[in-house]
Amino acid sequence: MIEVVYRIGEGPQDADGRPETAEQARALLEQGNDALVALLAEPRSAAGSEPGAEGPARRVIEVGAGGFGLSSPAEGVLRHAPFAAVLGCADARVPIELILGRAFNDLFVLRVAGNVLAQEIIGSIDYAIGNLPSMRLAVVLGHTKCGAVTAAVQAYLDPAQYLGLSAEHQLRSIVDHLFPAVRLGHAALLEVAGADAATQPGFAGALVETSAVLNAAIQAASLRSELASYDVEVVQPVYAVYDLTSHRIGTPVVIDPAAPAARLADPPATAEGFASLARELAASSEVGALLAAG
């Protein structure tokens, strides 16, 4: 048995102690995910479990009473002080705070099917960055086996299905947001695996996972453009994909050779950068295995 416990009362007593830089914020989120993966993989020796304790493996997330808003009335309402905005999918299998090992008031979470950058999402992040000086990072977090990406891939591969969405404006809006990633992934798979790759039984599945990574990167790059009026060195846009099986965040390929352990990646800055990323994904062993699997 495994327990993830929020222990309220100890630890930081208010929202102070936030990361000062985007790099520190990125490291905190990667470490939080590392701790969850370690807990699930080695339940008896995971970081955060109590030494020598009997019973279930446990990870304790300390939350100060003040950090939970239990300060005295004289101290007023808890100050809103998240250090990262996270745009994730609405999929119920992707609980953002748990995946990243963070507590209340740490993350400014937005969730929508396909983690696409709808206007209301942009407005919300714009508000956070413009009004919350604690903000350091803006994360787009896709995930494997995404239903929204799967729907977009099916609509792309079978235009008749897209026609069926013609009167479903809201649903079509999500699919339309996802099409650039699907188009890019489709072209890269055919380029890398050959023109007959589309006949392989695993093609649609490979395209779904390739597109999920590309979509997160594209949405993060779009966010960087939207944030151009802010200092993107202070609030950096990054992306990753959460693997429903391993519970790790990251991408199937090493995005930055200078920092191979980095799992929250900077999105490409150019069209050629995206094409290169798409080819690397299509040539990865993970996508190759999906193509062959069927």
Residues 112-151 that bind Zn ion (CB under 5 A): 146, 148
Tokens of 97: 């705070």
User: Which string of x and - marks every residue 246-265 that binds Zn ion (by CB under 5 A)?
Assistant: --------------------
CB of 151 to Zn ion, least distance (A): 10
Nearer to Zn ion, 35 or 151 (CB): 151
Closest to Zn ion by CB, 49 vs 150, is 150
Per residue in 46-82, is it b (16+ CB within 10 Å) or e — as a string? bebbeeeeeeebbbebebbbbbbbebeeeeeebbebb
Q: Binding residues for Zn ion, how many (CB under 5 A)?
A: 4
C-beta of 144: minimal distance to Zn ion in Å? 9
Please, what is the minimum distance in Å from the beta carbon of residue 152 to Zn ion? 11
Binders of Zn ion among residues 145 to 164 (CB under 5 A) are 146, 148
Q: Using CA atoms, how far apart are residues 157 and 18, in angstroms rounded to an integer? A: 46
C-alpha distances in Å from residue 124, one per residue of 15, 108, 120, 121:
21, 9, 6, 5
Regarding 277 and contact with Zn ion (CB under 5 A), the answer is no
Task: Name the residue nearer to Zn ion (CB basis): 138 or 148.
Answer: 148
Q: Which is nearer to Zn ion, 32 or 142 (CB)?
A: 142
Q: Could you tell me which residues are beta bridge partners of residue 65?
A: none
CB of 113 to Zn ion, least distance (A): 6
DSSP category for residue 71: S
The bridge status of strand 57-63 relative to strand 2-8 is parallel
Q: DSSP character for 268?
A: P
Binding mask 79-98 for Zn ion (x = CB under 5 A): ----------x-x-------
Alpha-carbon span 268 to 220, nearest angstrom: 9
Q: How many CB atoms lie within 10 A of CB 42?
A: 12
CA distance 237 to 25: 11
Q: How far is the CB of 31 from Zn ion (least distance, A)?
A: 25
CB of 209 to Zn ion, least distance (A): 12
Q: How far is the CB of 202 from Zn ion (least distance, A)?
A: 20
Joined together, the tokens standing for residue 27 give 């490291």
- Residue number with CB closer to Zn ion (144 or 236): 144
* 42/120 with CB nearer Zn ion: 120
| Distance (Å) of CA 265 to CA 26, 62, 138, 180 | 9, 27, 11, 19
Which residue's CB is nearer to Zn ion, number 134 or number 215? Answer: 215
Tokens of 85: 């905005």
Q: How far is the CB of 115 from Zn ion (least distance, A)?
A: 7
**Radius of gyration (C-alpha) of the chain in whole angstroms:** 20
Pick 81 or 146: Cβ nearer Zn ion: 146
Q: What are the residues binding Zn ion (CB under 5 A)?
A: 89, 91, 146, 148
